[in-house]
Structure 1
């Protein structure tokens, strides 16, 4: 009997792990919103990566994780890090810094699974299913509804942000998409934990250079900033990675991928609760259409 109860508890914990991962991941956008009033984007991210590496490198040694074999693989991992972490996080943080709402930012970059599935055809030689084309069309329709609902003829472009913020988030979307495809093609032998260290090193160097050349590097070390930084380092950059490792070991990586479409609505709910970010009915409908598009694209990819 005790073994049966233990098995049920293990099953319940396993079932909750993908949902927990998505819940943690969605807070990254909220963390950016909290921290950016106190530090410029590249400076903020550089500090985050330095602190993360200070914890992650000893963790690699403690867990006995093997380092990537050969400089060629290390180079490919570094390039994927520049795209997946440097371009993605840099674009997200700068877009929010320039006024893009956290919920809308999450929705736009949440198109990544759909865009990746579409580009996997020409870039990796994978066949694109009809379901994926339908998902792409729905995703584009949904994004049009969301952005169109925020058009303000009396403003520079959108309510609260302009083309600069939109361009930054599109850079983030492009970076995470190309980085995912690059990593899939060239980094198949990447050890997850130590490979993440290499990615953080390359992207941290890029963001540090950006902070040095483009920003004043002034930081207000308020309690809010310190707590936000601690959350992003410990919960996002460390705990979420370890949780992902546990899911992969248990064969649950596919469930994580299928649940990623929940990140935009979860972020939107958090942003509404914490920052009173509101979306009109047209935008909410567009978000629903976009989520359906991403789900269809993901299912179409899984059937190949």
Structure 2
């Protein structure tokens, strides 16, 4: 396989995926966090519905299978992005949010042994603790402990980490067991998006009254989040998984913090601080330790 067959999709995925943080921040002045999520996932659900219907792939899979996939979707999309948007809405820089949520692969790796019935090496646990230490360094120098809004804004992304880790572990358990509730990617995504849209409608309507300013910048932002990020980045991810192993594709998520920081710098003038970079280096040290392989055992 040629180098460009891997390099170009990888670059496209990293740029599209992490532009989601920037796009969300652009959209928040025009709609509340829950309303923005509702519109985004309602649109995604409609697009997937039509696509599946036209291709003859739309079907009801039963409550057991649908329920599991809807739960995964609510955690991996609704809670994950909901916590991200709440942090951005309270003025937390996109790069810092990306740094916090970058803990998710570390947490998933540490806890996956319990789910898959496999032992988790000590290096993974130490790597996870080092990663948390790196985030603590960055957040500790930015958070205003005397401001409840600041405390909430900087800590709520940890909810994203917990939610998507739980979703990943549920999916991992289904894969290990070769469970029948594992659906084709497009059908699973439809159920995930539908569940997210339905659940997000509740706070969007009752807490935010679905107030939305349908200005041109908001419409363009929504188009980008739906087509560029949710469909484009997700599609490139599956192209990469088809050409590489899943572990190497997952490693691309670790490029999120520096790429997002650069994007936020260019888009909003969020200049990274010295301790942001120190924290990021510590997180990457934890990643390196967690991913390092032990010495080969010779027989």
TM-score of the pair, normalised by structure 2: 0.89
Q: 1:231 aligns with which of 218, 224, 228?
A: 224
- Give the alignment of 1:16-55 within 5 angstroms: 16-55=8-47
Distance, in Å, in 2 between the alignment partners of 1:62 and 1:247 is: 26
The corresponding residue for 2:124 is 132
Evaluate the alpha carbon distance shift between residue 72 and residue 300 of structure 1 in structure 2; reply closer, same or farther with a 3 A threshold. farther
Q: Summarize deviations over 1:188-241 as a string: whole Å, max 9, x none.
A: 522111100100011111111111221132111122111111100101111122
Alignment partner of 1:100 is 2:88: no
Distance, in Å, in 2 between the alignment partners of 1:244 and 1:85 is: 16
Any conservation in 2 of the 1:18–1:255 contact (CA below 8 Å)? no
Any conservation in 1 of the 2:116–2:172 contact (CA below 8 Å)? no
Q: Summarize deviations over 1:90-125 as a string: whole Å, max 9, x none.
A: 111111112211111111011000011122233443
Distance, in Å, in 2 between the alignment partners of 1:244 and 1:89 is: 18
Any conservation in 2 of the 1:73–1:186 contact (CA below 8 Å)? no
The corresponding residue for 1:282 is 275
Say what the alpha-carbon RMSD is for the aligned residues. 2.3
Q: Summarize deviations over 1:164-203 as a string: whole Å, max 9, x none.
A: 2134312111111111111211365221111001000111
The corresponding residue for 1:175 is 163
Any conservation in 1 of the 2:144–2:151 contact (CA below 8 Å)? no
Cα offset for 1:297? 2.2
Cα offset for 1:288? 1.4
Evaluate the alpha carbon distance shift between residue 248 and residue 283 of structure 1 in structure 2; reply closer, same or farther with a 3 A threshold. closer
Alignment partner of 1:165 is 2:153: yes
Distance, in Å, in 1 between the alignment partners of 2:237 and 2:207 is: 34
Distance, in Å, in 1 between the alignment partners of 2:77 and 2:280 is: 25
The corresponding residue for 1:156 is 147
TM-score of the pair, normalised by structure 1: 0.87
Evaluate the alpha carbon distance shift between residue 182 and residue 228 of structure 1 in structure 2; reply closer, same or farther with a 3 A threshold. same
